[in-house]
Amino acid sequence: MSSYTNRCILVIDDEPDLCSIVKFTLERLKSWKILTAESAQAGLMQAETQQPDVILLDLSLYGQDRLTMLQSLKTNPNTQSIPVILFTATDPSDDSLGFDPSEFAGVILKPFNVLQLGEQIIEQLGW
């Protein structure tokens, strides 16, 4: 049995269609439990209560500063140990954005191949 079975992934993205596609695809291809949240507040609540194995976080959540959500997750004792993969069209390696690479486990740039998403997550987390 693979080390990445029975995983729970939280997708925090304000695009409902994208959340649905990711949920459907990863549940079918990887048999993972996929939680979705379309706002920062809902995402934080789910992260605290559900304790997912990883969070896919969109950097451009409506009404959120780019760093606010990531900092909220990393300073909250209930969520700080959950790996975060940035799920974004914005390249976080751009120094002007002010990201500390130690705060996130990886990056998946949009647009992405939905059929390869599970493998990208596995690779970035070393599962």
What are 44-85's pLDDT values in tens digits?
Answer: 999 999 999 999 998 777 666 656 888 889 899 999 999 999
What are 93-104's pLDDT values in tens digits?
Answer: 655 555 667 778
Which of 3.40.630.10, 3.40.50.2300, 3.65.10.10, 2.80.10.50 would CATH assign to domain 8-125? 3.40.50.2300
How much is the pTM? Answer: 0.89
Q: What is the DSSP string of 62-114?
A: TT--TTHHHHHHHHSTTTTTS-EEEEESS-TT-GGG---GGG-SEEEESS--G
Of 75, 43, 45, the C-alpha closest to 59 is 43
Round to whole Å and give the CA distance between 60 and 43: 14
Q: Helix or strand or coil: residue 8?
A: strand
> Which value, to the nearest 10 degrees, does the dihedral of the CA atoms of residues 104, 108, 110, 113 take?
-160
- Contact 114/22 with Cβ under 8 angstroms? yes
Amino acid 1: pLDDT = 40
The residues spanned by each domain of the chain are 8-125
- Contact 84/104 with Cβ under 8 angstroms? yes
Mean of pLDDT values over 90-117: 78
